[in-house]
Amino acid sequence: MEEKQDVLLEMKDLSISFYNKTGEIQAVRGISYTLHKGEVLGIVGESGSGKSVSSHGILRLTPDTGKVKQGEILFHGKDILKMSKKELQELRGNKIAMIFQDPMTSLDPLFTVEYQLNESLKKHTDLDGNGRRLRMIHLLELVGINQPERRLKQYPYEFSGGMRQRVMIAMALSCDPELLIADEPTTALDVTIQAQIVELLKELKDKLGMAIIFITHDLGVVSEICDKIIVMYAGKIVEEGTSRQIFYQRCHPYTEGLLASVPKLDSDVNEKLKPIKGNPPDMSCVKPGCAFAPRCSCAMQICVKEEPPQYELDDTHVVSCWQTIKKALQDA
Ligand SMILES: Nc1ncnc2c1ncn2[C@@H]1O[C@H](COP(=O)(O)OP(=O)(O)O)[C@@H](O)[C@H]1O
Ligand SMILES: [Mg+2]
């Protein structure tokens, strides 16, 4: 039995849509998951599957053209969607931090790193000038930036892509968050630097004990760092499991496709990568049945007619696929 007090974040049946002249775009369609203290959750899926919209919803960053149609996002048992402006501010600054794919959009090119970190610390801590200085140096050391005193004086453009991402992480850590949401933090980086940033996040998680939501379109990236993984397709969770289950016992043909389309650590160099054929569906006209059916090589008749339910293969492994359900029932 899991201890209730260990639960940090509970997303319950969240749906978010956007509205334009032509109608409704169903970006997120009823997703639920639980994140425990200190746990690392990977959210994986192709571009457009709803990873960012659902996660930005946690900080109530849904743009005005969008609307949370239903659901709850409980943080320590309290619904973020019902929080006052003041509570929300407290949450954004001090409890939950976020880093994005492109640090240049979050770092101001006109100011030194010192200025920006200092402002962030002023906002989120009670430290005096000297305390903030020591904390800035500590933060840069924590994220693996050498000669922090010299580096503080520099502007963002004087840092390489990987180093800028480290500065962003330092900034996010300045408030000691309980939850760090990292939205494709390594996508703009080359493979070696990607691996270093993932390694850094892993170290930080162990040192600081914060929970992390790690969003990526590349299933290969998350194998090392995640405790559990959610696979999203067309605004829904199609498979959820521990890292082991997703890598070694995956069931959904989409998860299979995602893995076949990225290089694996243990794969033969000559092994060909197979991209998933076709495109994700248009979320402005959602059809009945499994959203993946038109691209699925194992699709049966029922798949285009009826939406597959969430089927629990065991306590931690849930999959939404008729083929898997059929097989599980046959084996039982
Ligand atoms: N501001 C917006 N206005 C309209 N549609 C949006 C907006 N932001 C995202 N969407 C749509 O919502 C869906 C999910 O997007 P997103 O969560 O950004 O995907 P990703 O998994 O790549 O992060 C996509 O179909 C996208 O086109
Ligand atoms: Mg995104």
Q: Where are the domains of the chain?
A: 4-95+177-288, 105-172
The confidence score (pLDDT) of residue 113 equals: 96
Assess whether the C-beta atom of 53 lies below 6 angstroms from ligand 1: yes
Task: State in Å: Cα 56 to ligand 2 middle.
Answer: 9
> 3-class DSSP state for residue 8?
strand
Summary mean pLDDT of the chain: 91
The confidence score (pLDDT) of residue 74 equals: 98
Assess whether the C-beta atom of 31 lies below 6 angstroms from ligand 1: no
The atom of ligand 1 lying closest to the CA of 51 is: 21
DSSP annotation of 51? H
The confidence score (pLDDT) of residue 202 equals: 92
Beta strands 7-20; 66-75: pairing state: antiparallel
Q: What is each CA distance from 248 to 211, 216, 258, in whole angstroms?
A: 24, 19, 13
The atom of ligand 1 lying closest to the CA of 20 is: 4
Ligand number nearest CA of 16 is: 1
Assess whether the C-beta atom of 51 lies below 6 angstroms from ligand 1: yes
> 3-class DSSP state for residue 20?
strand
> Can you say how many angstroms the Cα of residue 246 is from the centroid of all Cα atoms in its chain?
16
Beta strands 78-79; 66-75: pairing state: antiparallel
Residues of the chain with pLDDT under 70: 1-5, 103-105, 263-271
Nearest residue (by CA) to ligand 1, atom 6, is: 18
Q: What is the pLDDT of residues 220-270, one digit of tens each?
A: 888 889 999 999 999 999 999 999 999 999 999 999 999 888 766 555 666
Task: State in Å: Cα 17 to ligand 1 middle.
Answer: 9
Task: Select from 43, 44, 53 the residue to mutate for testing ligand 1; criterion: most ligand atoms less than 8 Å from CB.
Answer: 53
216 φ/ψ angles, rounded to the nearest 5 degrees:
-160, 155
What's the token pair of residue 255? 């998860």
Which residues, at least 6 apart from 13, have a Cβ–Cβ distance to it below 8 Å?
30, 31, 32, 70, 71, 72
**Nearest residue to 238 (alpha-carbon basis) of 281, 285, 278:** 281
Assess whether the C-beta atom of 52 lies below 6 angstroms from ligand 1: yes
The confidence score (pLDDT) of residue 149 equals: 96
Q: Tell me if the domain spanning 4-95+177-288 has CATH number 3.40.50.300.
A: yes
Radius of gyration, alpha carbons of the chain: 21
Assess whether the C-beta atom of 197 lies below 6 angstroms from ligand 1: no
What's the token pair of residue 176? 């000691």
Q: In 216-321, where does DSSP find H-type helix?
A: 219-222, 243-248, 253-260, 301-305
**Nearest residue to 91 (alpha-carbon basis) of 100, 99, 81, 101:** 81
